Amino acid sequence: MARLGENSYGKSRVRLSRITRLKDRHHFDEWAVHVMLEGGFEASFTEADNSQVLPTDTMKNTVYYVARGSNAATIEEFAMELGDYLLTGNSQVSGVRVEIEARAWEPLTIGGAPEPTTFKLGGPEVQTVRAVRDRGHREWSVRSGVEGLTILKTTKSAFAGYIVDKLTTLKPASDRILGTRATVTWDYAVAVPDYAQARARILAALLRTFAAHDSMSVQHTLFDMGKAALEAAPEIARIRFSMPNLHHLLANLHPFGQDNPNHIFVPIDEPHGTIEATVER
């Protein structure tokens, strides 16, 4: 006897670019939107009855329709606006989840001043949001973050005092390169009047701490980055990290009759260590 368990459906990777035209400059956004619906869809699975199914192509069109009339300045605001629209217009929908990735376009600087209508991609990272609401709740659950935050420091990083057994070949390091391509997300405990400003405070705290920290391990730096973010943003309840340790190994130049005083390295990103943790209040 089979029965249908948890289920949802939606539209993924709806690509959207938007120009906001101000008098003296433009804002440019590039988003990838992912929408998932939960609700009364059992018959579509078990009875081949699609009468309660909103086509995913319609969901794609809804993204563009809502965007056209939206004044949302952030991906957080747009995610909630889009989700509210879908809940309001579809009584069979009991819950909605909207996830958005935003590429890091920023104004091009020419002669020390930002060019008002020309942009460059600021980095490999993307800003992210995951907004979830059930019909029975007025409040949204919002998780924002950044994916692919690629940062590196050339000193103030060590690793020693670890377990050594018969299979250990790693040598202790007192001054090494520390590099990562981090995925970071944080949960808002309350509604936030300015998500962009909160995001800026959090990212500034993360980067400032990473740069200044005398690291004894990735774990050590991760925790202090989390503490700094919680201090910078009282609106958030917790912050999660996934931080791969992207190694740069000292090149062996002895066969060539050269020394190597922490000067020449071989970047090795596979395999790599991965450290994950949540820092919460």
- How many degrees, rounded to 5, is the angle at CA 141 between CA 218 and CA 60? 100
Could you say which DSSP state residue 92 is in? T
Selecting among 60, 183, 213, 247, the annotated active-site residue is: 247
In the annotation, is 156 catalytic?
Answer: no
**pLDDT tens per residue across span 68-83:** 999 999 999 999 999 9
Closest by CA position to 19, among listed 99, 117, 92, 96: 117
| CATH code reported for the domain at 9-139 | 3.10.270.10
CATH superfamily of 149-280: Urate Oxidase; (3.10.270.10)
- How many degrees, rounded to 5, is the angle at CA 115 between CA 112 and CA 120? 95
Strand, coil or helix: what is 31?
strand
Does residue 206 register a pLDDT over 90?
yes
Q: What is the pLDDT of residue 138?
A: 87
In the annotation, is 247 catalytic?
Answer: yes
Q: What is the pLDDT of residue 269?
A: 84
Selecting among 56, 153, 227, 248, the annotated active-site residue is: 56
Tell me the DSSP string of 145-165.
Answer: EEEEEEEEESSSB-B-S----
168: amino acid identity, one letter: T
As annotated, the residues of the chain forming the CATH 3.10.270.10 domain(s) are 9-139, 149-280
Selecting among 11, 60, 209, 213, the annotated active-site residue is: 11
User: What CA–CA distance (Å, rounded) separates 176 from 204?
Assistant: 24
**pLDDT tens per residue across span 33-43:** 999 999 999 99
**pLDDT tens per residue across span 172-192:** 999 999 999 999 999 999 989
